[in-house]
Amino acid sequence: MKYSYLLFPLIITLFFSAFYFLLVKKLTSPMSSNKMKVATRITILSSLLFILLSFFLYRQLPDLMTQNALVIMLYISYVYLGALSIAIALFILWWPAEALLIFMLNKKSNKFSPQRRRFLQHSFNAAIMSLTAGSTILGITNVKNGPILKKVKLKLPKINLDTPLSFIQISDLHIAPTIEQSFLTKVVEKINSLNVDFVAVTGDLVDGSIEAIGKKVDPLKDLKSKHGTFFVTGNHEYYSGVHAWVSYLKLLGIKVLDNQAQVISHLDHSFLLAGVPDIRMEKSASSPAAAMGDFAPLVDYKILLAHQPRSCYAAFDAGFDLMVCGHTHGGQYWPMTDLIEYFQPFVKGFGKYKDLTVYVNSGTGQWGPPMRLGTQAEITLFEIS
């Protein structure tokens, strides 16, 4: 994964190619002045270079990301990327309606002048940009409000627990230079107030090197629960130096499950808590069957921690009863909320694959654009009885 950081600039380039075609060509119509055309192109190209430079500095020179100016630069780039994707989606949806209206007006009146046509186009453009700005502000506000506590209950048909087994799942915090340590501190304080049996962290905890953000993760050492905190890797740990992060988390007292399991006793019953590394980054090494081992006949209920919903197939084959995962962020913000379902078997909340129950956490933090639209960041409290 040496060159995995190149994926993000590639995505940015594709976004801007679409943006140039859909927006610049639209705004700089034949009726636009040459100055307007040149100014628009310079603005778009400058924005592209700004984003690419900020991400290059973030990935290649992590020590610089402790500087406030560069952190602000990265934050602005992410906000711009989010607004850009919303604008592109709105233009794609709006274009047919605009074309149909212009066609109908042309058919109704042969005197539909170029000036009126240009006014109508500019009105559509203004409406789209206003919607984009409003959506961006709303999305940022939703993130600032922080994650909600989402309570989910599971009733087991063959087990009767007078006192439920309770645990917390957090996922996809994406601690990065643009995330303040106070965010994670508040999450830890909320979890500690619930007095659960254990805490599960299902990957994508970090989005940067230990040099850049190590201290921001330190509040995790203060997590309190009866059986401790368990962690499985997500794809972003591999982008950020997985081996170094695994060693660092162990120093904080976090138990990293790498195709491993631990038996948890609760009242008169035994539960298996197993974990696997991210399926995409360690496809050949991510093995629910290996994590299960010979535990199956020794426990009453089997729980698997995984990062991606796609691990459900192997989890079912291995004989697990419940798989909790994340990765999708529930799409995080529109239009991604409508696209993510084409890439994962489950997107958010509960799902069922044959006899396996799947729960997908929508993410406790966010990646990239600091926005939430159509989804809510969550801390998930499970109660199994």
> DSSP labels for 257-286?
-SSEEEEEEETTEEEEEEE---TTTSTTT-
- Rounded CA-CA distance 121/29 in Å is 10
pLDDT at 326 over 90: yes
Q: Which helix (H) or strand (E) holds 10?
A: helix 7-19
Among 81-95, 111-125, 256-270, top mean pLDDT goes to 256-270
Q: Tell me, what's the pLDDT at 104?
A: 75
**Looking at 143, 159, 194, which one is the last position of a domain?**
143
Q: Are residues 22 and 134 in the same domain?
A: yes
- pLDDT surpassing 90 at residue 179: no
pLDDT range class, residue 74, cuts 50, 70, 90 = confident
Whether this model's pTM surpasses 0.85? yes
57: which 2 tokens?
Answer: 């500095």
Q: Which of 24-33, 75-84, 186-195, 339-348 has the highest mean pLDDT?
A: 186-195
Which of 365, 371, 317, 385 lies closest to 181 in space, CA to CA? Answer: 365
Kindly indicate the confidence band of residue 111, based on its pLDDT and cuts at 50, 70 and 90.
low
pLDDT at 98 over 80: no
Is pLDDT above 60 for 168? yes
Name the residue with higher pLDDT: 340 or 34.
Answer: 340
Q: Which of 239, 290, 300 is nearest to 266 (CA)?
A: 300
| pLDDT at residue 127 in the model | 82
161 and 116 together in one domain: no
User: What domain count does the chain have?
Assistant: 2
pLDDT at position 64, please?
A: 58
Q: Determine the residue type at 324.
A: V
The H or E element that residue 135 is part of is helix 114-144
Q: Are residues 155 and 284 in the same domain?
A: yes
* Positive or negative: CA dihedral 299, 265, 263, 278: positive
| Residue 156 sits in the same domain as residue 85 | no
Q: What is the arithmetic mean of pLDDT over 112-132?
A: 75
Q: Please state, in angstroms and as integers, the Cα–Cα distance from residue 329 to each residue in 40, 54, 151, 288, following that order.
A: 34, 24, 17, 23
Confidence tier at 203 by pLDDT (50, 70, 90): very high
Instruction: Note whether 85 and 177 are same-domain residues.
Output: no
pLDDT at 243 over 70: yes
CATH classification of the domain holding 192: 3.60.21.10
Domain containing 101: what range? 4-143
Residue 291 has pLDDT above 80, yes or no: yes
Last residue of a domain, one of 143, 161, 177: 143
Mean pLDDT across the stretch 113-140? 80
Q: Say if residue 60's pLDDT is above 70.
A: no
Q: Do 333 and 355 share a structural domain? A: yes
Mean pLDDT confidence for 231-238: 95
Check residues 215 and 38 and name the one with the higher pLDDT: 215
Are residues 288 and 154 part of one domain? Answer: yes
